[in-house]
């Protein structure tokens, strides 16, 4: 299993989650569409050559974002990331994946 994390502007969280779920993310046993969200403030500065979704070149931008977490099977990770990127508004979405072990007791 891989734990997937992605940061997305609040207004785009549902479309990003839906794309990731459709690609196979967030499935656990007899459940699907499983995830967790953390609200916060993201910060970045667009540099020369960027095509920023928001913000001005050289200026710090702060945005209300949601960190979405969900698990996926390792074999589906690349497809889930491809699906996320296809609907994410940022030129360079911040995301990562961590291999995990799921235990049943």
Does residue 17 surpass a pLDDT of 80?
yes
Question: Tell me, what's the pLDDT at 102?
Answer: 73
Distances (CA, A) of 68 to 16, 55, 101, 104: 9, 22, 19, 24
- The 3-state DSSP class for residue 78 equals helix
pLDDT tens-digit map of 25-71:
999 999 999 999 999 999 999 999 998 888 899 999 999 999 999 99
Question: Tell me, what's the pLDDT at 62?
Answer: 96
Does residue 66 contact residue 36 with C-beta atoms inside 8 Å? Answer: no
């Amino acid at each position: 299993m891989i734990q997937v994390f992605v940061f997305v502007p609040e207004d785009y969280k549902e479309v990003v989650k839906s794309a990731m779920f459709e690609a196979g993310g967030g499935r656990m046993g007899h459940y699907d569409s499983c995830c967790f969200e953390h609200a916060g403030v993201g910060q970045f500065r667009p540099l020369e050559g960027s095509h920023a979704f928001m913000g001005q070149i050289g200026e710090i931008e702060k945005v209300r974002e949601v960190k979405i977490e969900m698990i996926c099977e390792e074999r589906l990770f690349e497809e889930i990331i491809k699906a996320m990127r296809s609907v994410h508004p940022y030129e360079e979405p911040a995301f990562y994946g961590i291999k995990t072990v799921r235990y049943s007791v």
